[in-house]
Amino acid sequence: MKRSAILFFSVTIGLLGTNPGLSQIRNPLKKIEKKSVEKIEDGIGSLFNKNKKNTEEEKEVQTKETVPEVDGSVQKPANTSTDTPSVSKEKPTLSWAKYDFVPGDKIIFEDNLVGEENGEFPSRWDLYDGTTENAVFGGENVIMFRGGRPSIIPYLKNSDTDYLPDVFTIEFDLYLPSNDFTVYFFDQKNQLTPTSHDYLNISGEQMSMNPASSQLPNNGTIRKRWAHIAIAFTSGKMKAYIDETRLINIPRLDFEPIGITLLASSANDNNLFYMKNFRIAEGGVKYYDRFLQDGKIVSNGIRFDIGKATLRPESMGVLNGIYSLLSEHPEVKFSIEGHTDSDGETDSNLILSEERAKTVMDQLVSMGIDADRVTSRGFGESKPVDTNGTPEGKAANRRVEFVKK
């Protein structure tokens, strides 16, 4: 038997016989195991194109997403990869070279769904309407919008007040099966309806928010795949992105955002919407100003695959900003330093932080920065800047710092 045939046979048996990711959605009544929180992952990560070495046979050994019926049983249509949560068949390669979104640096609300119980209501959210619950999709914990015009709001102690600052960012990953997903900029349950308000609508092919509306380029669509949604508000100015493309750019809003409500109006058991990795953060000063003021730039906006040193494409907003700073100021040199939260083993966290810092360094060098201007090192969980007792604190500790040399 030829070596290639033996290899294919082994891979096929291994994937079909042992891979726990073959089922995309488990019965919502069953419990899911806790996942360790991703280290340093915050802000923005990595789309991969199919590796040239993959054979056509390997492409066929893709898992299929399972969709719960009303009675809790499952059926199996839609392809997805076993080793990423995306239902796309493609393995990403880092891109988003023109992405200019930079997340806020002070985390107000964070939910990566670690430790959530399958079939229960998401513990960090409150319900305004409809049916929403935790599920497992593509091997990851997600929030599933099931029906009855499901609407949820972040569960915050001060939810009846204006908890959105003058400068803030919102990010989340969205799986859109068909029609619209809406972000209201006030809490429909706990806040009084403001006299002036509006909302951002996300469809398969476009974003719209009065008075702006833009289509994805090249007849693009985000239907039935994961897409990264990013929103930036700066003292009256609103920008919004689908993946790397900015679709909304409003110079002056005629209302003040004060809270958040998320609505999947057409969701039902045959049309399920999913969301994960939600974050609200307060904005900060520009990178060069931070560098002059503090001698370093602290970023929670660089994200990695769970437990790995693989950059996610959302990270390119931060990396493009650091690249511009280094290009415009050739005298600047950085030590790139990785940090984790306290979840997991101390030694493993140290190794992971070192690998991730080196990945960031290598990416900047690949973009054209001289290798003698950047070095890398990792500190693991040894230098926390916040508590490890809350999701927001852990997210603050998972960071990459660019320190003056």
* Model pLDDT, residue 53: 38
Q: How confident is the model at residue 365 (pLDDT cuts 50, 70, 90)?
A: very high
* pLDDT exceeds 70 at position 392: yes
Q: What mean pLDDT do residues 92-107 have?
A: 78
Decide which of 53 and 283 is more confident. 283
End-to-end CA distance of the chain: 57
Q: What mean pLDDT do residues 126-145 have?
A: 97
Q: What mean pLDDT do residues 46-63 have?
A: 38
* Model pLDDT, residue 184: 97
Q: Which residues neighbour 196 within 8 Å (Cβ) at sequence distance 6 or greater?
A: 254, 255, 256
Indicate the Cα dihedral angle 152, 155, 160, 162, nearest 10°: -90
Q: How confident is the model at residue 284 (pLDDT cuts 50, 70, 90)?
A: low
CA nearest to 279, candidates 229, 313, 208, 240: 229
In this structure, of 70-74, 113-117, 148-152, the range with the lowest mean pLDDT score is: 70-74
Q: What mean pLDDT do residues 392-400 have?
A: 94
The reply to whether 106-282 and 287-404 are identical in fold is no
Q: How confident is the model at residue 100 (pLDDT cuts 50, 70, 90)?
A: confident
* pLDDT exceeds 90 at position 64: no
CA nearest to 323, candidates 281, 374, 396, 359: 374
In this structure, of 12-26, 288-302, 367-381, the range with the lowest mean pLDDT score is: 12-26
Q: How confident is the model at residue 218 (pLDDT cuts 50, 70, 90)?
A: very high
At 291-349, the pLDDT tens digits run 888 899 999 999 998 889 999 999 999 999 999 999 999 999 999 999 999 999 999 99
* Model pLDDT, residue 9: 38
CA nearest to 65, candidates 48, 86, 49, 51: 86
CATH no., domain 287-404: 3.30.1330.60
Residue that the structure tokens 């609300």 belong to: 109
* Model pLDDT, residue 271: 96
* pLDDT exceeds 80 at position 202: yes
Domain residue spans in the chain?
A: 3-30+49-80, 106-282, 287-404
* pLDDT exceeds 50 at position 397: yes
Element (H, E) at 13: helix 3-18
Q: How confident is the model at residue 380 (pLDDT cuts 50, 70, 90)?
A: very high
Q: CA-to-CA distance for 197 and 186, rounded, in angstroms?
A: 8
**Do the bridges between strand 399-404 and strand 334-339 make them parallel or antiparallel, or are there none, so unpaired?**
antiparallel
Q: What mean pLDDT do residues 394-405 have?
A: 95
Q: Phi/psi at 45 (nearest 5 deg)?
A: -145, -150
Q: CA-to-CA distance for 152 and 131, rounded, in angstroms?
A: 9
**Do the bridges between strand 245-250 and strand 212-215 make them parallel or antiparallel, or are there none, so unpaired?**
unpaired
Q: How confident is the model at residue 196 (pLDDT cuts 50, 70, 90)?
A: confident
Q: CA-to-CA distance for 164 and 158, rounded, in angstroms?
A: 11
Q: CA-to-CA distance for 276 and 113, rounded, in angstroms?
A: 7
Decide which of 269 and 196 is more confident. 269
DSSP at 356: H
At 347-363, the pLDDT tens digits run 999 999 999 999 999 99
* pLDDT exceeds 80 at position 78: no
Q: Are 85 and 226 in contact (CB under 8 A)?
A: yes
DSSP 3-state assignment of 266? Answer: coil
User: Residue 226 pairs with which residues in a beta bridge?
Assistant: 175
In the chain, the percentage of residues whose pLDDT exceeds 70 is 76
* pLDDT exceeds 80 at position 83: no
Indicate the Cα dihedral angle 158, 164, 168, 170, nearest 10°: 70
* Model pLDDT, residue 292: 87
Q: CA-to-CA distance for 397 and 110, rounded, in angstroms?
A: 13
Mean pLDDT of the chain: 81
* Model pLDDT, residue 15: 36
Q: Are 398 and 338 in contact (CB under 8 A)?
A: no
DSSP 3-state assignment of 303? Answer: coil
Say if residue 68 is preceded by a cis peptide, omega within 30 of 0. no
CATH architecture of 106-282: Sandwich (2.60)
Q: How confident is the model at residue 287 (pLDDT cuts 50, 70, 90)?
A: confident
Q: Are 168 and 281 in contact (CB under 8 A)?
A: yes
CA nearest to 338, candidates 351, 321, 320, 356: 356
In this structure, of 79-83, 177-181, 186-190, 293-297, the range with the lowest mean pLDDT score is: 79-83
